[in-house]
A and B are shown apart, each in its own frame.
Chain A
């Protein structure tokens, strides 16, 4: 191997070595000659981030390293407003083409993803009312409210509390939580049920809470509020008097969800700096 070595006349551990295809500066470190600055080449390439491979400029004896920088990206998705979100730049995948040439692709592209979370609070701010009398106030009508969908990509578990108020006797309230993959309503629910007594005593405050939970695998959260009123005795007179309503609210849910891509990056680019 042909080489030119330029020594520091006072310390031969300090030197510059020129050889075919390489140059390096060596310095004395604690009595040993250590390579400080090797000859390097660098190029800047503009890549599509959609996974397509591009042939890099220059030729390299060894596989180069790659520094990626996103240049066109989405940083926030409003449909996942209540999920933490992150930018993910895929791995640089180099492919040796021979004769020192390489191609480069950004594996999985550049994407916006939710950040997996266990026990996150997902607010929904639901304030609702159910009314149980028919239009001429002669009979009770069962009520069902299906609330949703709320978009939580990668949803695996949800637990929620319904807080309600009603003065009604003989009222059955079912509160449910559902998980679906699409925006179609759930076919099954995790439910909790409350049945009030058919009391004839003086009416008492009926502020109550119901907790329901559901496990599954999907992208959408739903709530079910289902109530029915039984006419059991004359004391239901009060039900009629008092407009026969259930007021309820749901503040939010305790949710688990996994990392999930929420925006593709097919229109994004990456700037690549490579060093050999």
Chain B
């Protein structure tokens, strides 16, 4: 193929730096005098435009001598996805371009990527349940439902509890004391759908409630990179009263509290390619 111009038209008054039109087999270009220097100011280009679905190949109209440059603009695209609401979100719109296999024919695939920036959080905000303030004393099974809180990624929740229970059985007689065997269970409940369930737990057995038990620990969950809710649930089960003589305890021998003492969570930055074909872009391909 020849590269020589087919037609060249000069400004007769300045054949070196004056305006010029040049037609070759591959282009039609205009040159203008800019600051006394001839510069190419415009060239005939091919443009292909339309609407394309995300993550799908769309063939461009017409033929290009070389790979065209493409610009995209949103037609229907997500701007916010609630499953990562705790993190800052960024949407990146790019494209892939490839030959269709036919000379001069190209196709594009818009690619939409969502990134949720890394999140970490730690708090000493606590939930406390303290039964001593009730001033009432008897053996029973018991439960504490902690507050729901949102988190994302790995989660660590600290807790502590204390339990002492023994007293005088005034029904059986002043010389009769009582106690109980008690099981303490702490659950880390997670809700990533409408029905919460336990993902971690800790259990402690207290064989004689007159011997104070005081424990603390941490429940962990290597959660998803999407937002979920969590709470602590404390359950205490008693297997019934055990009478003993003589009675060494009065009704005041009673301590009971459970508290969540802090928590932290963290999630690394994650990128995901969105593929919903309902998402679309305007495309504009420019080339020769």
Contact = CB atoms under 8 A, between A and B. Distances in A.
Interface of A: 6-11, 14-16, 23, 25, 27-30, 34-40, 42, 65, 67-70, 75-76, 81-89, 112, 115, 120-123, 125-127, 159-161, 163-165, 167, 202-207, 209, 211, 238, 241-243, 247-249, 251-254, 273, 275
A203 B63 contact: no
Contacts of B134: 242-243
A209 B80 CA distance: 32
Given A11-B1, A125-B150, A249-B231, A38 B195 contact: no
B49 A252 contact: no
A24 B138 CA distance: 96
Contacts of A122: 194
A205 B141 contact: yes
B145 A163 contact: yes
Contacts of A273: 49, 284
A261 to B, nearest CB: 13
A275 B49 contact: yes
Contacts of A40: 44-47
Interface string B11-28: 000000000000101111
A209 B231 CA distance: 15
Contact of A27 (B63, B192, B195): B63
A70 B284 CA distance: 15
A185 to B, nearest CB: 22
A10 B2 CA distance: 7
A127 B145 contact: yes
B175 to A, nearest CB: 23
Interface in B98-157: 102-104, 134, 136, 138, 140-145, 147-150
Interface of B: 1-2, 6-7, 23, 25-28, 44-47, 49-50, 62-65, 73-83, 85, 102-104, 134, 136, 138, 140-145, 147-150, 191-196, 227, 229, 231, 233, 235, 237, 240, 279, 282-284, 288
Contacts of B74: 70, 87, 89
Contacts of A27: 25-26, 63, 65, 104
A23 B79 CA distance: 42
Nearest to A39: B44
B136 A252 contact: no
Closest 9 A/B residue pairs (Cβ): A205-B141, A251-B191, A75-B79, A6-B6, A69-B73, A125-B148, A254-B194, A165-B143, A14-B25
A251 B136 CA distance: 31
Contacts of B136: 241-242
A23 to B, nearest CB: 7
Given A37-B46, A123-B150, A252 B145 contact: no
B51 to A, nearest CB: 9
Contact of B79 (A76, A127, A167, A249): A76
Contacts of B140: 167, 202-203, 238, 242
Contacts of B102: 29
A160 B191 CA distance: 11
Given A30-B103, A67-B73, A81-B82, A38 B46 contact: yes
Contact of A36 (B6, B46, B240): B46
A249 B231 CA distance: 10
8 contacts: A6-B25, A14-B2, A38-B46, A67-B284, A75-B80, A84-B83, A87-B78, A127-B145
